[in-house]
Structure 1
């Protein structure tokens, strides 16, 4: 069987070469690499093994119905949460100026810059977006109150993605 490092080397060699497809078979393993596709396939032929099949009791219809009803209840709760969302038409969206990682605080031990209900001015730092080891402080851009924080600490954010909703004063 090939080791992970050997497979990586094969991938690197195929990538650097002009071939578009590579198949490697040894004992009970087969590796097939295709270039210029989004999928790299690694297949392993299973060794012949004896399989013991045990009979499993079938679930009762009543239990299945209960699970379906719980799922319906959760779906209704989600719909209610969506209906309770805040009208964002009069709110200012603080957006990410770059792709990076969102941080609510200057360090893991520190308190967040802002929380829901915090009063901010246009120069108040509300978070940090880290890109390529550079920590960029993001300002509120408007005087007002933080109504909602739209991303979680440590989450990757895209350019232009809303981070906060601020109710302007």
Structure 2
């Protein structure tokens, strides 16, 4: 079985390549990775206003299709985050803030964390992977919502290091 670091390296290599699908079999284990591609359609409509007595002239709709592959759209942060540590997702999967729906969240804004504090779970291929803070400090912002799909390398938390 591959170690998690080896899987991360494979994910990184596939992410940076033009390969859309990858399958790896070794000693009875099988890993399949597929890149998600999204078609984003931008529609621009221009309407020329005219007095009520005259007909309204409508220009044709201009459509532009942009292909995005494994990219995220992130709004610019409002505060300076250069001194904050980002806890990032080590894999593609589903973000969970607690170990079960009945349990409380691992961390909240203002929670103190250490290097080995579990901050969330990322579920990938029916495996629940506990993500540790890897830094000592205070959670300043939670960047994703419970149940949200996350990408490899996507920031999950902002931590003010101590």
**Residue 149 of structure 2 corresponds to residue 152 of structure 1:** no
- Equivalent position to 2:117, from 121, 124, 128: 124
SS at 2:140's partner residue?
strand
TM-score scaled by length of structure 1: 0.51
Residue in 1 aligned with 2:131? 138
Distance 1:109 1:92, change over 3 A: same
* Greater helix proportion: 1
Residue in 1 aligned with 2:87? 94
For structure 2, the 5+ residue unaligned runs are: 1-37, 40-74
Distance 1:140 1:84, change over 3 A: closer
Residue in 1 aligned with 2:96? 103
Correspondences of 1:1-169 after superposition (within 5 Å): 85-169=78-162
Runs of 4 or more, structure 1, over 6 Å off, are none
Distance 1:87 1:136, change over 3 A: same
For structure 1, the 5+ residue unaligned runs are: 1-37, 40-81
Structure 2 distance, partners of 1:110, 1:91, is 28
Structure 1 distance, partners of 2:104, 2:151, is 24
Cα deviation, residue 161, structure 1 = 0.1
* Greater strand proportion: 2
The size of the alignment, in residue pairs, is: 90
